[in-house]
Amino acid sequence: MNGSLVSAFDEKIIIPPEEEGDNAFKYIVESSDGELLIVQRFISTYGPYRWTTNFKVLKLRQHANHVARLVEVRNIGDDALFLGDNCSMSVAASRFPECRPNSIYFTDDTILYTLEGSIDMGIFSLETGCFQPFDDMDPSHSDMPPPFFILPTLVDNRVTHPCQY
């Protein structure tokens, strides 16, 4: 993503250039209503430690002449995004009682684990810009790899892409 113009099937997508010093992971997620989202996860580091400082959600918006642009959105409505090393997905939070709408759930997807275990994971609210750690993380599991997300298709079989490889 270097500010270039990408052409596929006579469609053009304008991708903004990366900002100077941009230290971000990028995830591609399909929203629950089928829109393409690019989620940027901004990271700060100090020695071997690394933590998420912010998220930015970009949506692909179609314009005239088969040109699409990525524009920032600050509200994803009823969607809850799940980002991790295994896959990224979106669900309608109203279909899952414990899900928070307009939120991003994320796991520590680094391959370097500290003695404290996986510590960079939690829930980010797009509405407030606040982070909340996962409540029920058992300290005895600190030496284990980070968790990954599994979509409960038995609960909602209308979702058609539970990270199939």
Ordered by start, the domain boundaries in the chain are: 5-141
The identity of residue 60, as a single letter, is: L
The identity of residue 3, as a single letter, is: G
Residue 110's pLDDT is what?
A: 64
Cα separation of 134 and 141, whole Å?
13
Residue 84: band (very low, low, confident or very high) from pLDDT cuts 50, 70, 90: confident
Residue 160: band (very low, low, confident or very high) from pLDDT cuts 50, 70, 90: very low
pTM greater than 0.85 = no
Instruction: Look at residue 57 and tell me whether its pLDDT is greater than 90.
Output: yes
Coarse DSSP helix, strand, coil percentages of the chain, rounded to the nearest 5 percent: 5, 40, 55
Residue 113: φ, ψ to 5°: -100, 145
Contact 71, 57 (CB under 8 A): no
The pair of structure tokens assigned to 18 is 């990366």
What is the mean pLDDT of the segment spanning 137-151?
Answer: 56
Q: Between β-strands 49-63 and 67-73, what pairing exists: parallel, antiparallel or unpaired? A: antiparallel
Residue 164: band (very low, low, confident or very high) from pLDDT cuts 50, 70, 90: very low
Per-residue pLDDT tens over the stretch 2-27: 555 555 555 555 566 665 556 788 89
Residue 107: band (very low, low, confident or very high) from pLDDT cuts 50, 70, 90: confident
Cα separation of 129 and 151, whole Å?
25
Instruction: Look at residue 143 and tell me whether its pLDDT is greater than 80.
Output: no
Cα separation of 50 and 23, whole Å?
11
